[in-house]
Structures are given as C-alpha cells and as structure tokens.
Amino acid sequence: MITSDALSSDERDSVEALLEATSRHDGVSALDEPARLALSGPGARHLLIPAEEGAERDLAGAASAYASILPDGTVQGMVHPSVRRQGHGTALLRAALSARPDAGVWAHGALDPALEFLAAKGLEVTRRLLTLHLDLAGATSLPPVPEARIQGLELDSFVAERDADAWVQVNAQAFADHPEQGALTREDLDRRTAEPWFDPDDLMLARKNGELLGFVWVKREPAAGSEPVVAELYVVGTAPQAQGKGVAGHLIGAALHRLRDTGVQRVELYVEADNTAALELYRRWGFELAAEDVQLRLPEAG
C-alpha cells in the first residue's frame, strides 16, 4: 500500500480510472466532490493499492483500491470490482482508522455490501445524507416564487471580486453546525469557481442595502446523449439575521424557475436526514427521495 499526501499524475490517473470502473459497476460514485477535488489538491491523506504486476491490463489502468482521509476526518474509498473480497477493503479501512480512529466513513449509496462490510468491522451509522430530486420535465407548473419577509431584498449574480469574502463569511455562519460545508475557506471557494461547470449566474445572491443575506448555488451537469439535463441545487444558505424570514424559500423558488426556463429537466439536492425544516421546505416544492448516503464510525469515536 502506498500512503502519501499527494498523488503523482500516474497515481491520480489510476484512481480516476478506478472511480470510473466502480461507479459504472455500483451505480454510484464512491467519492464525493471534496474527495474528488482532493485527488489533485492539498490536504488529504491518500491510501493507494496499485494493480498487482500482471493485472494492469485486466484493470485497464485502474488501481486495485483507494481511500482518502480528508482534513475533516471523513474517509471514503473503493475497491475495483474484479478484485473485491481479497482483503483490499479491510487493509484500507484498517490503515484509515489507525490514522484517524475518530474517522467518519462514508458508504455512498448505502449499498448493502458496503454497509454489511463496515458493520462487520464494528462501525455504526451516525449520519444519513439524503438525495432528493424534482422532475421539472414532468411538472405541469411550479408554484410562484414566494416573497421573502424582508423589504428591499434584491437578487443578483455572484461577482468574485465583490462577493467572495462575504460569501465565505455567510456560508460559515449559515452552516456553523455542518461538518463540511461550514468549513469552506476562500481557497475552497476559489477552487470550486474555477471548475468547468461554474457559472456566476448560477450563484444567486440575496442582499439588502449591499449586505449579503443569503445565496443559492446551482451546479449544472452537461447532458450526455439522450440523458436528461440535470442540475444540482448545490447549496442554499441564509445569514443568521435573515433566517426564518423566507429568504431561503425565495431563493429556491427563483432558482427553480430559472432552471426550468433554461431547459433543465431534473433537479437534485442533498440534505441531512435529520434536517426536518429543510425536508419540509423541499417537499413543498415537490422534491422526492432518490438515494441515501450513510456515514459510520467506531462506537467509541462518537
């Protein structure tokens, strides 16, 4: 096993090939966005099991197995479908928990084999992240955009030079209790806005008298062939002084209407299973459960 704080270009290529193979086989990506960004960025600890000598052709350039430990203590990993049940997953998990006994281990898609494997190693479910979706193509109409209970609220698009630092501050306040989203830095924001999918018009801001009070960020996925045009309601945040005043609902409504009017056929989002207020808001717009990700920990890690 190779452990490092940075992947070489060849190692990164082998991990990306592994991710493609496992995603195709399992129907879900084993790595979330922070873990994918960490393949070429700083901060993560990488655990890599290369393809064994003579097996490179069978694995088509992919590594045998890989896991990462992110700075927030979350772990996620994958084993190539052709070399599963050979101890690679156990080796990765043992190494990850040795480095971070308090790690939160993601099982994306909550697939039964992954959950059974982790439960057999003594880990217990501590967090559930739901994926909801809304079929805009099949919707006959959307409810009108609800008005916020703040006079003089204005919506406009993100301008990095003007808005980046304020966005980081409001995001941290809005997600103070969220282990990943609330920890985003200016560097993290800059990396995301440099991604090919980023469009400043899809990061909509709500402000009053120049003060940033909330935002909704949309991530559009390019359509492949006959696949529907999909967008992710990436993140919605409200400053503490504006919470409970309809700002989030106003932003979500404006975003959904804009997505429908620009040809998006399906919208997806992620929400914590215990966030009942957000679930109620999204369900009012017609969102339905599509998938679930589960995080597990050792009991003594809390």
100 is in an annotated binding site: no
The model's pLDDT over 87-117, given as tens digits with 9 standing for 90+, comes to 999 999 999 999 999 999 999 999 999 999 9
219 is in an annotated binding site: yes
In the three-class reduction of DSSP (H, G, I as helix; E, B as strand; rest coil), residue 183 is classed as helix
22 is in an annotated binding site: no
More confident residue, 276 or 222: 276
Residue 263 predicted with pLDDT over 60? yes
Q: Average model confidence (pLDDT) for the chain?
A: 93
Q: Domains for the chain: give ranges and CATH numbers.
A: 2-122 (3.40.630.30), 132-291 (3.40.630.30)
Query: What is the structure's pLDDT at 301?
Result: 59
Which percentage of the chain shows pLDDT scores above 70?
96
Query: What is the structure's pLDDT at 229?
Result: 87
The model's pLDDT over 236-248, given as tens digits with 9 standing for 90+, comes to 999 999 999 999 9
105 is in an annotated binding site: no
The model's pLDDT over 5-64, given as tens digits with 9 standing for 90+, comes to 999 999 999 999 999 999 999 999 999 999 999 999 888 999 999 998 766 566 888 999
Separation of alpha carbons 101 and 97, rounded Å? 4
Query: What is the structure's pLDDT at 264?
Result: 92
Query: What is the structure's pLDDT at 228?
Result: 75
Residue 142 predicted with pLDDT over 90? no
131 is in an annotated binding site: no
Residue 210 predicted with pLDDT over 80? yes
Residues 6+ apart with CB under 8 A from 271: 129, 130, 132, 278, 279, 282
Beta strand segments in 71-152, E: 74-79, 104-107, 124-135
Residue 180 predicted with pLDDT over 90? no
More confident residue, 57 or 173: 173
Tell me the mean pLDDT in the region 109-131. Answer: 97
140 Rama sector, left if φ>0, alpha if ψ -120 to 50, beta otherwise = alpha
Query: What is the structure's pLDDT at 130?
Result: 97
Tell me the mean pLDDT in the region 146-175. Answer: 96
Query: What is the structure's pLDDT at 55?
Result: 64
Residue 178 predicted with pLDDT over 90? no
237 is in an annotated binding site: yes
Residue 216 predicted with pLDDT over 90? yes
Residue 266 predicted with pLDDT over 90? yes
41 is in an annotated binding site: no
250 is in an annotated binding site: no
Residue 226 predicted with pLDDT over 70? no
pLDDT grade, residue 77 (50/70/90)?
Answer: very high
Query: What is the structure's pLDDT at 26?
Result: 97
Burial string for 10-28 (b: 16+ CB within 10 Å, else e) reads ebbebbbbbbebbbeebeb
46 is in an annotated binding site: no
Task: Tell me whether residue 123 is exposed, middle or buried, using C-beta atoms within 10 angstroms of its C-beta: 0 to 12, 13 to 18, 19 or more.
Answer: buried
* pTM, full prediction: 0.84
Which percentage of the chain shows pLDDT scores above 90?
82
pLDDT grade, residue 179 (50/70/90)?
Answer: confident
90 is in an annotated binding site: yes
Task: Tell me whether residue 279 is exposed, middle or buried, using C-beta atoms within 10 angstroms of its C-beta: 0 to 12, 13 to 18, 19 or more.
Answer: middle
Query: What is the structure's pLDDT at 54?
Result: 65
